[in-house]
Structure 1
Amino acid sequence: MRPLLGLILITFRELWARKIVLGLFIVSSLVLLAMAFALNLDVVEGSLAGIRLFGQEAAPEDMANEDGPPLTLDRVVVAVESVVAGVAYWIGILLALFASASLFPDLQSAGRVELLLSKPIGRVQALFGHVLGVWSAIGILTVYLMGGVWLIMSFKTGIWNPRFLLSLVLVVGMFAVMYAAVTLMGVWTESTALGLIVSYGLIFVSMVLAASEQISPTLGSIGQPVFWGLYHTLPNFTEVTQIVSTLAKGETVDSWYPFFSSLLFGAAAYGATGVWFARRDF
């Protein structure tokens, strides 16, 4: 157990030493400070009476569309939490992948991997400790930002949206899925650049796969099975965005399939990484 915890702590230190992770922490702190002090909601008997942002005041009727529903306290909370969830999902995961992509290739560098494997720890356990350390570090940052926003908005408004916290799980889960591609490329080529290219490429491909209902009918008898095979095999990163948004709004998710199918891809990629790492000649 101690060697595993040691690997997790080492991974924490390496991630913290990278300025991007420190930058994410600073940006998250600034967002929380802005939410706590710059955004003020005047609530009178449970209704929104006014909004003050960086000293600028506005009444709900001034911010509502003429043809749309009135701006209520619930809508403000949902809007703020949805924006935070979307930013954490897209920008947060992209930056987290960039910050952590070199960790696994560096772990396999000459001299370091031999020193690691000389310890009383198996190869699969070493891989698990590394991956768990990366997940935990990114998870802590995500909880810090999204959990902080949730608490601030809840205390300010008295509106508690627990479903928003489920979107936090999806952010960390989808990062873990995309990091699986990084580790698989890392054990194969020890290339940080290729790991990033593949993971970002999968995200780009998911944008195309998200338009499956529009694209599939235009394909031929050969193209359709290939397209749907990719749809069910590769991570559905873009479609999970809709689930994150739905949870942030406190609504019921129609289908969890994009998320669970992505988890299956991640599990398969980590399994392949473990087998390859265990058989490599270091």
Structure 2
Amino acid sequence: PVSRAQIILGKFFGGFAVVFLNIAYLVIGIWFLLGVKFGVWAPEMLLSIIMISFTFAVLYSLIILVGILTRSSILAMMLTYLIFFILSPVLVFRDKISILLDSDFTEYLLDGLYYIIPKTAELSTINMNVVQGLGIDEYQPIITSFLFMILTLALSITIFSKKDY
């Protein structure tokens, strides 16, 4: 018999593998076309495969956790889109928002949210810097997003193992 942890990890790594291969196919295809058409062979562009796949893996771990907690894939997707498109980009400017609102509570709340949720906006910036050959300035968004992914997967496995179906 397959354990529940194996089911969750199989779902995660299977989904990740499919997305990784699709992203690799797309990026390598674009890289090849740019090279043939314009003579631009930028191997740094291929590194975006890793960063985009990593960002997906972090968000996918959240989708799995919310899906287990709520049994709603729609809610899981909506929450992930909220973090990816709204919350993470807004929290990049948390210092400016705190100054504007002039509230200690708001500052603590924004800082807390910033350090808890995955930093998809910063991961996107890191990806752009790597593609442009600038390298990685700060590893904190990568490390905290990785820890978020590990924690959400561990929590998913724990909750799914204890659920009674």
Q: TM-score, normalised by structure 2?
A: 0.90
Per the TM alignment, residue 182 of structure 1 is displaced from its structure 2 partner at its CA by 1.0
CA displacement, residues 237-279 of structure 1 (integer Å, 9 cap, x when unaligned): 1122211111221222221322322121111111110101111
Per the TM alignment, residue 206 of structure 1 is displaced from its structure 2 partner at its CA by 0.6
Give the aligned length: 163
Structure 2 match to 1:264? 147
What is the distance in 2 between the residues matched to 1:175 and 1:182?
A: 10
Equivalent of residue 124 in structure 2, options 241, 263, 270: 241
Q: Which amino acid aligns with 1:192?
A: S
Structure 2 match to 1:220? 103
Does 2:21 correspond to 1:140?
yes
CA displacement, residues 184-218 of structure 1 (integer Å, 9 cap, x when unaligned): 11111211111112111212111210112312323
Please identify which structure carries the higher helix content: 2
Deviates more, 1:137-146 or 1:227-236: 227-236
What is the distance in 2 between the residues matched to 1:256 and 1:154?
A: 30
Structure 1 segments unaligned to the other structure (5+ residues) = 1-119
1:160 counterpart SS class: coil
Q: Which has the higher contact order (CA 8 A, sep 6+)?
A: 2
Question: Which runs of structure 1 show a deviation greater than 6 angstroms over 4 or more consecutive aligned residues?
Answer: none
Equivalent of residue 3 in structure 2, options 108, 114, 122: 122
The answer to whether the Cα contact below 8 Å between 1:163 and 1:250 also exists between their aligned partners in 2 is: yes
Please identify which structure carries the higher strand content: 1
Structure 2 match to 1:208? 90
The answer to whether the Cα contact below 8 Å between 2:20 and 2:53 also exists between their aligned partners in 1 is: yes
1:222 counterpart SS class: helix
User: Cα RMSD (Å) of the superposition?
Assistant: 1.6
- Decide which structure has the larger Cα Rg and report it: 1
Counterparts in 2 of 1:68-107, with a 5 A limit? none
What is the distance in 2 between the residues matched to 1:210 and 1:141?
A: 29
The answer to whether the Cα contact below 8 Å between 1:162 and 1:250 also exists between their aligned partners in 2 is: no
Structure 2 match to 1:255? 138
Q: TM-score, normalised by structure 1?
A: 0.54
Q: Which amino acid aligns with 1:256?
A: Y
Structure 1 match to 2:66? 185
